Structure 1
Amino acid sequence: MKRIIYTEWLKVKNYRVFWVILVIAAIMIPAGSYVPAEIYTRQLKDAAKMLGQAPFSFPVVWQTVANISSYVTTLFGLLMVILVTNEYTFRTNRQNIIDGWDRKEFVYAKLFWVVALSLMAFLLSVLTACTYGFVYGDKPFSTENFIYLIYYWLQVVLTLCIALLLSVWVKRAGFAIVLFLGYTMMLEQTLVFMLKRSVGRIGGLLPLQTADELLPFPVVGKMISSADRYDDSIYLFGLLLYIAVVIYLVFRKILRSDL
């Protein structure tokens, strides 16, 4: 495994595009919560108290930051698309096989990035929530709602896995990026809207939507009727199932196709 990680490091060490996007994604996590925190604590503080919860006080801050950070997830997925399609563009995947790699090791190398990028997003969100909870909050530290950051981490994992699957199927960077952005930013949301309007809450069971259902903004979440959604355990099961299925499809594609 050390050999795989070292090889992956060599591929990105001097890759400027990778580091630029990674830095932007990393900055966006704390930056995305800054403006809402300022607005709520300086202009809407009384309104938040009337609703019975302050979004940037413990323990609600975990859920708030998880919800806001989820909007940055696409950037990490974009990184995955670039990393994987570069393998096909520059034929480094074939060179790895020639050098003695097993096809499964190629998948393990990409799953390393799934783990690394998702943990990075998770840890940055944890640090952001802690910092904002202490700076903007008025309640003592609590881990009561920390589960929302676990949901967020799983959302990042699923998004990265979907990006990986699209990349190994399409192989071309431009086309893969268009498909990935089109699906995550428009197609699925359109399908969710249509399904929820026509057949009800089943629309919430589409892949990325399962995570969105688990990550409502605190104030908005309390306004959603339980009749309009399933229990959280259903969405969590669906989220884990999608991750497993997508990883299986990636292995199936790599092991059976021509590199």
Structure 2
Amino acid sequence: MLQLLKIEWLKLKNYKTFIRLAIVYYLLLLLVLCSVQLVLSWMQSQGMEFQGISPDIIPFYDFPDVWQNLAYLASYLKFFLAFIVIISVTNEYSYRTIRQNIIDGMSPKSFLISKQLMILAFSVINVAILWLAGTIMGVANASTFEGHLYFMGSDFLLAHFIELVTFLNLAMLISILMKKAGFAIILLCFYGIFVEPIAVGILGHFTDDSWFLNLFPIEAVNNLVPVPFQRYIFMEIQDYVSIQSVIICVGLYLISLTINYYILVKKDIA
């Protein structure tokens, strides 16, 4: 496993575009996670209010709310991370490194595992940044700090990890099918931003079976971390991770992994 991860790193470390995109992504992630209080203060200085509530007093970083809040914000950047995965996978076809790996003795299974390790590494780093930002900003900005509240709601970190692994595997599947980064990125954005939301919206008018709508991949990963901000205008929210959503995402991950393996083994990898 470590050897495969090392091989993957050796292929990526000299690819300047990949390194720059990864650095920009993680800097952007840190900026988004750590600048909320500044944004709220600016909104308050502009006289903005949320149903009579001053933005400056919203306890965004208070424990245990901080974990769901940050995980939800980070979920908006998952498309950016998917683009990095797409570039990594499609480059294997563009530069014929996948064929060379197979010629050198790497099995399609090992190739797939190496990409899975890359996806897992990205996801773990994301969770680590969320945990670090949540801890620092929570301790620095929370009105009170109680030890038992620190771990409450931390299951949203695990939910974010599952969200990324599932979504990035979908991006990998599209990459293997399209083999070109531009086409794969366009297809992922078109499907995720237009096709699925429109389809779910239309079907929602004809069925009340939310479990059926939750089977759509983008809908499924988005349901792992529900919108948390209504709590600040005294509305009820889902402040827990749904087991049903976890099961659906794990199922989608296994399906995409199986399809990826089938394509790599049965199809022309060139």
Partner letter of residue 18 of structure 2? Answer: F
Contact 1:81–1:176 (CA under 8 A) maintained in structure 2: yes
Percent sequence identity is 25
C-alpha distance in 2 between matches for 1:211 and 1:41: 31
Tell me the CA shift for residue 225 of structure 1. Answer: 7.7
Contact 1:48–1:55 (CA under 8 A) maintained in structure 2: no
Q: How does 1:222-237 map to 2 (within 5 A)?
A: 223=235, 232-237=242-247
DSSP 3-state at the match of 2:169: helix
Deviates more, 1:216-225 or 1:154-163: 216-225
Tell me the CA shift for residue 240 of structure 1. Answer: 1.1
Tell me the CA shift for residue 21 of structure 1. Answer: 1.1
Partner letter of residue 38 of structure 1? Answer: L
The reply to whether residue 47 of structure 1 matches residue 60 of structure 2 is no
Structure 2 segments unaligned to the other structure (5+ residues): none
C-alpha distance in 1 between matches for 2:18 and 2:10: 12
2:126 is matched with which residue?
121
TM-score by length of structure 2 reads 0.85
Tell me the CA shift for residue 35 of structure 1. Answer: 4.0
Deviates more, 1:84-93 or 1:132-141: 132-141
The reply to whether residue 72 of structure 1 matches residue 82 of structure 2 is no
Structure 1 segments unaligned to the other structure (5+ residues): none
Contact 1:214–1:235 (CA under 8 A) maintained in structure 2: yes
**Measured at CA, do residues 87 and 149 of structure 1 come closer, stay the same or move farther in structure 2, by a change above 3 Å?**
same
Q: How does 1:94-243 map to 2 (within 5 A)?
A: 94-140=99-145, 141=147, 142-200=150-208, 201=210, 202-220=212-230, 223=235, 232-243=242-253
Tell me the CA shift for residue 18 of structure 1. Answer: 0.5
Deviates more, 1:27-36 or 1:55-64: 27-36
Contact 2:163–2:224 (CA under 8 A) maintained in structure 1: no
**Measured at CA, do residues 109 and 189 of structure 1 come closer, stay the same or move farther in structure 2, by a change above 3 Å?**
same
Q: Give the root-mean-square deviation of aligned CA atoms.
A: 2.5
Contact 1:25–1:75 (CA under 8 A) maintained in structure 2: yes
C-alpha distance in 2 between matches for 1:196 and 1:40: 34
Partner letter of residue 208 of structure 1? Answer: I
Alignment: residue pair count: 253
